[in-house]
Amino acid sequence: MAIVLPYLEVWPRFGRDVFLAPNAVVTGDVELGDEVSVWFGAVLRGDSGSAKIGPRTNIQDLACVHMTRGLSSAEIGADVTVGHGAILHGCKVGNGCLIGMGAILLDNAEIGEGSIVAAGALVPARAVIPPRSLVVGSPGKVTREVTPEETERILRGVAQYVETARSYGAVRGDLEEKAISARFAR
C-alpha cells in the first residue's frame, strides 16, 4: 500500500481514479487530479509548500516532486509525463509536456505547454521555456520547436499510462478484496 501521510495536519487530496503504486509516497499539501498515476518509488512531498498535479498526468518510477519552503511551489499541468527518475523542484510545468528520464527542473523554472525536456537535461532556477520547445543539455537550452508528431506521441503515451494505471488498479482492487475476504473467513 502506498505511503500517504499528513504534514502539519494537512493531508494529500485525490481526484477520481488516482493510481498510487504500493511504494509511492505522497505527503502533505499535495493535490492529485483525476486519473493521475504515481508509479513505483515516486515521491511527492508537500511539506515545504504545495504541489498540484493536473488530470491524467503520470509521475513515473523514482521521480521526485518537492519545493523550497517560502520560495517555490510545484504545479504540473494536465496530460504531462514525468519520466523515470526526474526531479521537479518547485517548478511549473504546462499542460501536455514530457519531462524526460533523469531531467532536473529547479525552483521557479517554468516549462511552457507542449514542451519536451530531454532525458538528463537540467533546467536552471527561474528559467522560462516557451511553449512547444525542445530543451536539451545542462544547462538546458531550447534547440527547436516540438513537432505535431511529437505532440501526438506525448498524448498517446499519456493515454497508455492512464490505461495501464486502470489495469493495475483493477488488479490491486481484486487482490485487496480477496485479502480482506480471506482475513475474515478464518
Q: Which one, of 33, 45, 43, 39, lies nearest residue 72 by Cα?
A: 45
**Per-residue model confidence as pLDDT tens digits over 6-47:** 999 999 999 999 999 999 999 999 999 999 999 999 999 999
Residues 6+ apart with CB under 8 A from 18: 32, 34, 35, 36, 37, 38
**Per-residue model confidence as pLDDT tens digits over 138-183:** 999 999 999 999 999 999 999 999 999 999 875 554 544 444 444 4
pLDDT (average), residues 68-86: 98
User: Which CATH number applies to 3-185: 2.160.10.10, 2.40.30.10, 3.30.360.10, 2.60.120.280?
Assistant: 2.160.10.10
- List the chain domain ranges: 3-185
Cα 128–132–96 angle (5° rounding)?
100
Enter the pTM of the model. 0.91
CA distance 67 to 4: 18
CB atoms within 10 A of CB 160: 12
